[in-house]
């Protein structure tokens, strides 16, 4: 099989990987926007306070918890 052809399995894998990476980045961007609004309430100083850092981490974690709950609910409908 010609590994350099456009329909090669290797290229499909590459595209699949890139797609996945793009999805992760999109999610990170969305989460950053949401969590910034929740956690960074004052005028930004030059560095995060530890409270802000913790808030950002918690915010991302809870969002993931929520996604899991939704996923489980939909799985139970099948």
Partner 1 sequence: MSSPNVDQLKQTVQQETAIANARALITGINDHCYEKCIPKPGATMSKGEETCYTMCMEKFMQAWNTVGRTYVARLQKENQQQTALSATAGLGI
CA distance readout (Å), 40 to 28, 47, 49, 78: 17, 11, 10, 40
Question: Taking CB under 8 A as the criterion, which residues in 21-50 touch partner 1?
Answer: 21-22, 24-29, 31-33, 35-37, 39-40, 43-48
CA 18 distance to own-chain centroid? 14
Q: Is 68 in the site for partner 1 (CB under 8 A)?
A: yes
Residue 51 interacting with partner 1 (CB under 8 A):
no
CB of 54 within 8 A of CB of 37?
A: no
**Site residues, partner 1 (CB under 8 A):** 2, 4-6, 8, 11, 14-15, 18, 21-22, 24-29, 31-33, 35-37, 39-40, 43-48, 53, 56-57, 59-61, 64, 68
């Amino acid at each position: 099989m010609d590994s350099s052809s456009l329909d090669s399995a290797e290229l499909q894998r590459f595209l699949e990987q890139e797609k996945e990476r793009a999805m992760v980045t999109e999610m990170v961007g969305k989460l950053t926007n949401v969590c910034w609004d929740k956690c960074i309430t004052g005028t930004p100083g030059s560095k995060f306070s530890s409270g802000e850092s913790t808030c950002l981490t918690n915010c991302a974690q809870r969002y993931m918890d929520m996604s899991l709950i939704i996923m489980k609910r939909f799985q139970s409908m099948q």
